[in-house]
Amino acid sequence: MKKMLVLPLLLCVVTLFSQNEKQDEIMLAKIRDEGLNRSQVMDIAFYLTDANGPRLMQSPGYFKAANWAKTKLTSWGLQHVALEPWGQWGKGWELERFYFALTAPYYKPLIGFPKTFSTGTHGPEHAPVVLLNATDSTGLLAYKGKLRNKIVLLVRNDSLPLGFGPDANRYTDEQLKELAAYDPRAGVSRASAVKNEPVIRLLTAAELLKMAKDFAREEGALCMLSTSTRNSDGTVFVQNGTAYSPETPETFNDVAVSYEDYMTIQRLLQHKIPVEIDLEIKTKIYAEDQQGYNVIGEIPGRDKKLKDQLVMIGGHLDSWQGATGATDNAAGSAVMMEVMRILKTVGFKPRRSIRIALWGGEETGLHGSENYVRNHFMDTTTRKYNAAGDELSLYLNLDNGTGKIRGIYLQGNEAAKPVFQKWFEPFHDLGAGTLTLRNTGGTDFLSFDAIGLPGFQFIQDPMEYGSRTHHSNMDTYDHLSAEDLKQASTIIASFVYDAAQAEEKVPRKN
Ligand SMILES: [Zn+2]
């Protein structure tokens, strides 16, 4: 009797299991076909960059892009699509006009970009330039009373290293092996793989520059110029002129200049040849709505038991002002939007709910994601995750430029390793599959990871990120690689499918 019952039951389970497997196979093939052969990721990227302009947080450009994304996500059939406020953020700023040229000893247009919250000039100005030949606060005092309405720069004692290395590169097999072999118990890895990450300026130089800038402002100077050896070959890295503050930011005209132009001015002044500049900066502050916003959209889950559980994906939508933030991070935003489009197009009806978040305020300190996690997933008294946080299966982030996915940073979560290993299996032919216990940082998954929620960032080929595009005036659509972004969209769409259908949530680290 017992035997007779067990056999049909077993058959039933086996049939169901293989039916599900078959269904998964069909859907994953559809996702791959849609993602690789009918991709819209570059079109999405075009609207976020060329068509929109820079997306500095809280600027009109940010809201234009956010509203465009909202309309697009809605048109694909996502639900609960909204610009979701997270609380106080602060004022917006936008550059409306800029003119910057050498007029003495000869005429030459100069390469420069105003830093955020530069106040602006009173229309076109013409000003002599003063070189501060100082290495400390005492040295600065020699210029007391001499800087009113002058354009000021601080003396530099470096020279331009010639660019023998390639601008762009991909991870080699050896570098990926090194990442995969990383053992957190063995201490800090000196992986050569991280070489291409952004260079951090020496604190002492930054402190001196800040001191000189404060001094110039107090002395009534018109504008401060600054540069670094990275600002060469037409590339200028430009971001904030003042630290983020929800109150009125401390302001002054502060222009990031190409290294070559900066040093030309310095050499002329060191040779006692007077330098004059024509300068006009027009900026606008936006103070009406000071709440911060993320763009949110959802594909609701269909499984009675699992629909309250959540699979999230995201990337930040805000950018710096020197260009259109193509690799940082229209790339990640476009990929995540494309993931949702692919999933809707193939008719995926997920068991768990799937949510996309395009974060605001990342560039000044992960504000959008941090506040989202606090508002949705955190118990404010225990400062741990709440019931909704408990229902979160996974958060996947993309924000390391245009490079294709090579693997994933496990953030020390060994339990998640076999899960991702399996999900990567169909993508070895696309160059992806490295799992490293090494941690990475600097972007929005950290807001989840900080309270033990499973948030992950993918390993991406560095491409020209550290050398050329990250926070520079060259972060434009032309530096996006279509093939890489298609690969990333396809892999993430498949991961979301896997996560939404799996019997279990993604395991968390202890
Ligand atoms: Zn970024």
In this structure, the dihedral spanned by the alpha carbons of residues 363, 365, 368 and 373, taken in order and rounded to 10 degrees, is 140
Residues less than 5 Å from ion ligand 1, measured at CB: 328-329, 399
User: Rounded distance, CA 457 to CA 461, Å?
Assistant: 13
Ligand 1 center from residue 339 Cα (angstroms) = 19
Q: Which residues pair with 316 in a beta bridge?
A: 359
CA of 119 to the centre of ligand 1 (A): 25
Ligand 1 center from residue 407 Cα (angstroms): 18
Question: What's the 480 CA to ligand 1 centre distance in angstroms?
Answer: 14
Ligand 1 centroid distance, CA of 331 (Å): 9
Write out the chain's pLDDT in tens, 510 residues: 445 555 555 555 455 557 788 999 999 999 999 999 999 999 999 999 999 999 999 999 999 999 999 999 999 999 999 999 999 999 999 999 999 999 999 999 999 999 999 999 999 999 999 999 999 889 999 999 999 999 999 999 999 999 899 999 999 999 999 999 998 887 544 444 444 445 544 447 888 999 999 999 999 999 999 999 999 999 999 999 888 888 767 789 999 999 999 999 999 999 999 999 999 999 999 999 999 999 999 999 999 999 999 999 999 999 999 999 999 999 999 999 999 999 999 999 999 999 999 999 999 999 999 999 999 999 988 888 899 999 999 999 999 999 999 999 999 999 999 999 999 999 999 999 999 998 888 899 999 999 999 999 999 999 999 999 999 999 999 999 999 999 999 999 999 999 999 999 999 987
CA 144 and chain centroid, separation? 41
Residue 392 tokens read as: 């979160």
Bridge-based pairing of strands 310-316 and 392-397 is parallel
Q: Considering Cα of 468, then 471, then 477, then 481, what sign does the dihedral take?
A: positive
Measuring CA to CA, which residue among 198, 218, 485, 442 is closest to residue 335?
485
Contact 366, 446 (CB under 8 A): yes
CA 177 / ligand 1 centre spacing (Å): 26
Task: Identify the three-state secondary structure at position 227.
Answer: coil
Q: For the chain, what's the residue count? A: 510
Q: How far, in Å, from the CA of 423 to the mean position of ligand 1?
A: 25
* Spatial CB neighbours of 387, under 8 Å, sequence gap ≥ 6: none
Q: What is the whole-number distance in angstroms between the Cα of residue 323 and the centre of ligand 1? A: 13
CA of 46 to the centre of ligand 1 (A): 17
DSSP 249: P
Q: Please tell me the predicted confidence (pLDDT) of residue 471.
A: 96
Distance 206 CA to ligand 1 centre (A): 22
Q: Tokens 């100077």 sit at which residue?
A: 221
Contact 328, 319 (CB under 8 A): yes
The DSSP call for residue 161 is: P
CA 442 to centroid of ligand 1, rounded, Å:
8
Sequence-ordered list of residues with C-beta below 8 angstroms from that of 300, at least 6 positions apart, any chain: 79, 307, 353
Structure letter (DSSP) for residue 296: E
**pLDDT reported for residue 194:** 45
Taking the CA of residue 411 as centre, how many other CA atoms within 13 Å lie in the half-sphere pointing to its CB? 25
* Distance in Å, CA 452 to ligand 1 centroid: 22
Residue 346 token pair: 């193939």
Pick the CATH number of 92-163+196-286 from 3.10.310.30, 3.30.499.10, 3.50.30.30, 3.40.190.10: 3.50.30.30
Provide φ and ψ at 278, rounded to 5°.
Answer: -95, 130
Q: How far is the CA of 329 from the centre of ligand 1 (A)?
A: 5
* Ligand 1 center–CA 328 separation, angstroms: 4
Ligand 1 centroid to Cα of residue 461, in Å, is: 15
Q: Cis check for the bond before 105: say yes or no (omega within 30 of 0).
A: yes
8 Å CB contact between 364 and 117: no
> Which helix (H) or strand (E) segment is 392 a member of?
strand 392-397
CA 79/CA 155 separation, integer angstroms: 56
Alpha carbons 354 and 64: distance in angstroms, whole number: 25
Highest CATH level, class, for 31-89+290-501: alpha beta
Instruction: Please tell me the distance between residue 18's alpha carbon and the centre of ligand 1 in angstroms.
Output: 41
Which residues 6+ apart lie within 8 Å of 32 measured at CB? 426, 490, 494
Q: How far is CA 212 from CA 132, 140, 203, 221, in A?
A: 8, 7, 14, 11
Ligand 1 center to 414 CA (angstroms)? 26
Ligand 1 centre distance from Cα of residue 504 (Å): 31
Structure tokens at 395: 């958060």
pLDDT of residue 244: 85
- How much distance in Å is there from the Cα of 365 to the middle of ligand 1? 10
Q: What is the DSSP letter of 463?
A: B
For residue 354, report the distance from its CA to the centre of ligand 1, in Å: 22
Q: What is the pLDDT of residue 19?
A: 76
**Phi and psi at residue 418, to the nearest 5°:** -65, -30
CATH 3.50.30.30 domain position(s) in the chain = 92-163+196-286
CA distance 260 to 207: 23
Strand order in the sheet with 353-359: 79-88, 291-299, 353-359, 310-316, 392-397, 455-460, 405-409, 434-436
Q: Is the bond leading into 329 cis (omega within 30 degrees of zero)?
A: yes
E-only strand ranges, 115-262: 125-132, 151-154, 223-226, 254-257
Residue with tokens 């035997």: 3
Q: What is the pLDDT of residue 92?
A: 94
Which pLDDT score, from 0 to 100, does residue 213 have? Answer: 94
Tokens representing 126 are: 């013409």
Distance from C-alpha of 78 to C-alpha of 71, rounded to nearest angstrom: 10
Predicted local distance difference test score (pLDDT) of residue 380: 83
- Residue 474 is given by DSSP the state T
> How remote is the CA of residue 363 from the centroid of ligand 1, in Å?
6
Ligand 1 centroid to 334 CA: how many Å? 13
DSSP state, 452?
Answer: T
Which residues does 47 contact at the CB level (< 8 Å), separation at least 6? 65, 68, 72
Between CA 340 and CA 334 the distance in angstroms is 10
Helix (H) or strand (E) holding 384: strand 384-385
| Site of tokens 């019952």 | 5
Q: What is the CA radius of gyration of the chain?
A: 26
Per DSSP, the residues of 71-126 read HHHHHTT-EEEEEEEEEE---EEEEEEEEEEEEESS-EE--EEEPBT----SSSEE
CATH 3.40.630.10-classified regions of the chain:
31-89+290-501
Question: How many A from CA of 113 to the centre of ligand 1?
Answer: 19
* 324 Cα to the center of ligand 1, angstroms: 12
Rounded to whole angstroms, the Cα distance separating 407 from 107 reads: 51
Distance 352 CA to ligand 1 centre (A): 28
Q: What whole-number distance in Å separates Cα of residue 266 and Cα of residue 262?
A: 6
CA of 115 to the centre of ligand 1 (A): 17
